[in-house]
């Protein structure tokens, strides 16, 4: 029973990657729309997009690290 709950907890922690993927996809599509509407603002839009994507990806990495820690230390 205990190992099953550990596996479920690790699986839930890894799901942060799905949220990050969806968030990055939406941000990229909105950035493409914004650049299409205002090409002169491409530099500012790209800089903000990269910052947002980095933060979203960091969240996914944190979820993965938590999942690994759950598996390693609670076994």
pLDDT one-digit tens code per residue, 14-49: 999 999 999 999 999 999 999 999 999 999 999 999
Query: What residue ranges do the domains of the chain occupy?
Result: 2-73
Cβ atoms 20, 59 nearer than 8 A: yes
Question: What confidence score (pLDDT) does residue 36 get?
Answer: 96
Cβ atoms 69, 6 nearer than 8 A: no
Cβ atoms 17, 60 nearer than 8 A: yes
Longest CA–CA span in the chain (Å) reads: 59
Domain 2-73, what architecture? Up-down Bundle (1.20)
Q: Whole-structure pTM over 0.75, yes or no?
A: yes
CA distance 1 to 20: 30
């Amino acid at each position: 029973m205990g190992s099953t709950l550990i596996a479920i907890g690790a699986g839930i922690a890894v799901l942060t990657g799905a949220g990050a993927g969806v968030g990055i996809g939406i941000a990229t599509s909105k950035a493409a729309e914004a650049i299409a509407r205002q090409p002169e603002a491409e530099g500012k839009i790209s800089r903000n997009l990269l910052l947002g994507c980095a933060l979203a990806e960091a969240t996914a990495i944190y979820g993965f690290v938590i999942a690994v820690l759950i598996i390693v230390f609670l076994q």
